[in-house]
Structure 1
Amino acid sequence: MDGTAGVDLVARARAVAPLIADAANEIERTRRLTPGVVDALIGNGLYRALLPQSLGGSEAPPEIFMEMLEEIAKADASTAWCLGQNSVCAMIAAALDHESAHEIFNTAPGILAWGAVAHEARAVEGGYRVTGRWDFASGSPQASWLGAHVRIVNADGTPRKTADGSPELRTLLFPLTRAVMHDVWQAIGLAGTGTNSYEVNDLFIPDRFAALRDVPEALREPGPLYRLPTGSTYSLGFAAVSLGLARATLDAAIALARAKHQSLAASAMRDNQAVQGLIGRTEGDLRAARAYLYGTAHAMWRDLSASGVFTPAHRSAVRLAATWTIQQSADVVDIAYRMAGATAVFRSNPFERRFRDMHAITQQIQARDTHFEDVGKMILAEGR
């Protein structure tokens, strides 16, 4: 890929951001993206950022994907979160035959959503049968297809194992119309993501829609992007959402400080040395977090493009950078929120929703403190 399509994705994201910002209150109120926002994302090809070029996607490198999400997150975090989630789901196209992938992603609206790993599917002639309910399907109100990550059992009920003895996991794909949806997403933040639950009962899934996810041997696409595990791609994407959210919140605090005269204060906020110093330090923290995240992504992508191998060291580096960036972004948002004073608590101002959205992000798996333990364990084991 020459990068032209990828750069264009960022420009397109920047161009639709004002429309998304104007719709942010409605997205919050209705708890789903507005039709106008979804149409703009589809029309500009943003959902197809990580879809293979062979299917008409951009197959963009991680850094472009991250920049795209940053731009959208500055306008609305829920929209960026859905876009990130659904874009990564599209990477599974690389593990499907071309006809099946075409059916899913090139039939409007061509959006796939899924939830967390749960339940088993029983192998039967020609495919699998599955019953279960899955949670955390962000972007499902816009989706036309759903996925279910399941453990596979044989016809006799015994677990099916891979060559290394671990349980075989597959992602079963089916039209959203085959599932029962449950509107359960009543959350403190990221309210507009429609992160709902879905269930099926004794649903038959043909073999061609039962993909092995993150298994290099199962890939049908040659590009290095599809050697990057979806979990690590989520980490990079959601950390980028955090950066965009933090950038917008800090910018709002800076704009407020330029104009506001605090009650009982002798001077405007912009002339207050404590405010000046706080803004300077916080700006440095945010720029450092962004540089670290993008530097890690760049180094990983350089190695992966050259070797075609995503190593445990890459996984550890991405996990550390993403977790730290999300937590650092939360600190920036907290500082900006406190800096705004009483202004921040009113829904008419650009602080309280971003504060809630940021703290919803910190509760996700990508921001867990246990990631630091995993990385520390690896560093100690290597004697570094």
Structure 2
Amino acid sequence: MSVDTKQKSKGFTDVELELIEKAREAGLLAESEVATSEINASVSRNYVNKLIESGITRANLPKEYGGPQISLRGLGEIVRTIAYHNISAAWLGYFFPLHNSLTAHLPQEGRDEIINSNGLIVDVFAPVGQVTVVDGGVRLTGTYNYTSGVNFAEWIGLGAIAQLPESNQPELIMCFMRKDEVKVNENWDTFGLRGSGSNQVIATEVFIPRRRVLRLELANDTRRPPEGSNYDPDYPYYHVPYFSAFYLGFPNMALGGARRLLDEYKKRTEARVRLHGENEKDSPRSQRILAKLMLEYKKANGLMEQYYDLLATYETEGPYEKGEFSSLRAEIIKICQEIATTVMVSLGGASLTKNDTIEVFVRDIIAVATHITSLYEDALYTYGRNLYGYQGIGMG
């Protein structure tokens, strides 16, 4: 069965299939530039332009703005497809279209303003800033790390805790401002995901009008846009717990990367001859390793399917606990991380060459596992508490 036939069997639309193919082309470009992006700590402008020209960055726009409004599974497949070639590139190939779903939960005036500007959007959820509520909006001051892709963006959404006039308690909000209203420090120098360009931004007394303030907890709890904003019941980020839908890209990055490592392992063992003269593909050791890792990959893939099913049935058969979503993600990523390290140590010293596919992919998958939404012990702690009727930690 061809890749295209397999994808059609998963129910992807023709538009989604076209975008998946364009994602493959973008991934190939990013793969060809990996050495440069590792040095520059950023993917190239060529790659970002490729995402824009392909329509991928507009894939999650509400269709009222002319976007294809693809499914959650469709975006997940785009991410996985890019990640097969370059995980850092997949990180941005996920976030740039995804962040349009944030604007879909803004008041209509703010939504129109940001989307119609055609600028890319980046964000930091961590509520580290200090907010002062003022007439007509809020003022924000704070230093935010990990602003992935900020060098290519026009808009930045920054998290904070504030009590808005229409609320009776403090809540998690996101404030959207133009990039030229903040200072960007290019300080991204890390072990993995180097190409994501996740630099620091500093906001100092930036005024954000109320139309550009997103009530994140309200969006997650109501699963609808704010009152008075256009509501399309078919929009994929409504009717689902927003944070759990938002986070689905992380396990897909890991799955795409793990699939590439499995293919690399098979290819390299087929070509490898040991010092004692044995072709490694004939060795029961490598045969068993590959079989075991393939089963683990299939297990992780099955868990991802369950994740999609939970999102799809949340309002008809749920609700489901946030710990179930977070533990599924964490388990998938943990399996992929273990596949990655097993491939590296099984192939021997040749897999340690700087900027070799194995070396980069192992670092990047480990980096995905360190993201706050992927932390294994946090996820299991929350799921275990949920199973006994207690609250856990995290957003979903």
* TM-score for both structures, normalised by structure 2: 0.87
Deviations 1:158-207 (A, max 9, x none): xx6845x4x22221111101100111211100011111111121111111
Secondary structure at the residue paired with 1:117? strand
Structure 2 Cα separation of the partners of residues 57 and 20 of structure 1: 24
Report which stretch shifted further, 47-56 or 93-102.
93-102
SS in 1 for 2:18: helix
Contact 2:245 2:311 in 1 (8 A): no
5+ residue gaps, structure 2, are 1-10, 391-396
CA distance in 1, matches of 2:156, 2:352: 37
Q: Check conservation: 1:104, 1:110, Cα contact below 8 A.
A: no
CA distance in 1, matches of 2:14, 2:172: 36
Structure 2: distance between partners of 1:380 and 1:3: 40
- Separation in 1, partners of 2:323, 2:208: 35
1:49 deviates by 2.5
Whether contact under 8 Å (2:30, 2:43) holds in the other structure is no
The answer to whether the 8 A contact 1:115-1:136 is kept is no
CA RMSD of aligned residues (A): 2.3
Give the letter for the 2:197 counterpart: G
The residue that corresponds to 2:346 in the other structure is 339
Structure-to-structure mapping, 1:142-153, within 5 angstroms: 142-153=152-163
Distance in 1 (CA, whole Å) between partners of 2:311 and 2:43 is: 31
CA separation of 1:265 and 1:37: change in aligned 2, threshold 3 A: same
- The equivalent residue for 2:294 is 283
Residue pair 2:237, 2:245 contacting (<8 A) in 1 also: no
SS at match of 2:238: helix
Give the structure 1 partner of residue 389 of structure 2: 381
Aligned residues: 370
Identical-pair percentage:
21
- Secondary structure in structure 2 of the residue aligned to 1:365: coil
| Greater CA drift, 347-356 or 194-203 | 347-356
Asked whether the 8 Å contact 1:185–1:195 carries over to 2, the reply is yes
Change in 2 beyond 3 A, CA 1:51/1:206:
same
Change (3 A) 1:5 1:102: farther
Residue 127 in structure 1 maps to residue 130 in structure 2 = no
Q: AA paired with 1:289? A: A
Give the secondary structure class of the aligned counterpart of 1:366: coil
Contact 1:235–1:318 under 8 Å retained in 2: no
Deviant stretches of 4+, over 6 Å: none
Q: Which of 203, 206, 210 is the aligned partner of 1:203?
A: 206
Q: Return 86-95 or 221-230, whichever deviates more.
A: 221-230
- The aligned residue for residue 253 of structure 2 is 241
After superposition, residues 183-262 of structure 1 pair within 5 angstroms as 183-214=186-217, 215=219, 216=222, 218-219=225-226, 220=229, 221-222=231-232, 223-262=235-274
Counterpart CA distance in 2 for 1:31 and 1:53 is 34
Q: Is the 8 A contact 1:88 1:233 kept in 2?
A: no
Matches within 5 A, 1:1-384: 3-153=13-163, 162=167, 165=169, 167-214=170-217, 215=219, 216=222, 218-219=225-226, 220=229, 221-222=231-232, 223-262=235-274, 264-297=275-308, 299-304=309-314, 307=316, 311-313=319-321, 315-347=322-354, 349-368=356-375, 369-381=377-389
Give the match's secondary structure for 2:156.
strand
Structure 2 contact 108–211 (Cα < 8 Å) conserved: no
- Aligned-pair distance for 1:281? 0.8
Q: Distance in 1 between matches of 2:158 and 2:273?
A: 54
Give yes or no for contact 1:130–1:200 (8 Å, CA) kept in 2. yes
Q: Tell me, yes or no, if the aligned pair for 1:105 and 1:111 is still in contact at 8 Å.
A: no
- How far is the alpha carbon of 1:86 from its aligned partner? 3.0
Paired residue type of 2:90: A
